[in-house]
Amino acid sequence: MNELVDFLLGFGRLAPMDIELIERKTEEVGVAKNTRLAKASQFIDELWFVKEGVTRVYYYTEKGEEITKYFIDELHFSSDANSFLYRIPTTSYVETITDCLLIKIPRSSFEVFSEKIPGWNELISRIVTQAMQDKVNRISPMLAETGKERYLKFMERYPALLNRIPLNLLASYLGVTKYSLSRIRKSM
């Protein structure tokens, strides 16, 4: 639970009694690999914080192709914040790609935090803003890069993820076929 509290403290102040409340109202949950945490067009009723493991966010194209939008590793939230915060259906799926240890924050607990923890909403706003900036910084450069350049940048930014992500999912994220990714890897 300390990982979640430390993460939150990076975005704002929490009194000892706020930390105690967070620890009481959240739950560590072991989740098996390939477990779907969220399904497109449904409402998100819990936030998931990744303590151990890797999850991914993905969607399906009109042709039924599965496209990985991004991966979430340790010490990040793995949920559709817009769906959770604004009670709108999510547009993506969220799935574990390794066995995970997650910290679950149910909607009811989140609402208690909003009522009882001074500055909670501002803290969450800072987290969401940072996540959006990270997403833009991750995706925007990829639009003008070749598959090889995207792979090299992925290796540079996320070396710890390379051996934890199946190649077909990495290829989907990079916007290449798994055969192209194999060729890229062999050429290096």
Question: What residues does CATH 2.60.120.10 cover in the chain?
Answer: 2-143
Residue 99 confidence class, pLDDT cut points 50, 70, 90: very high
Per-position b or e across 110-145, b if 16+ CB within 10 A of its CB:
bebbeeebeebeebbeebbeeeeeeeeebeeeeeee
CA distance 140 to 135: 8
165 phi, psi to nearest 5 deg: -110, 130
Whole-model pTM above 0.95?
A: no
- Residues 6 or more apart in contact with residue 88 via CB below 8 angstroms: 43, 82
Determine how many CB atoms are found less than 10 A away from the CB of residue 22. Answer: 21
The residue-averaged pLDDT of 179-187 equals 89
* Displacement of CA 172 from its chain's centroid (Å): 16
Q: Which of 58, 78, 55 is nearest to 69 (CA)?
A: 58
pLDDT (tens digit per residue) in 35-47:
999 999 999 899 9
CA distance 67 to 155: 19
pLDDT at 163 (0 to 100)? 86
The domain defined by 2-143 folds into Jelly Rolls (2.60.120)
pLDDT (tens digit per residue) in 124-177:
999 988 988 877 776 656 667 888 888 998 888 888 888 899 999 999 899 898
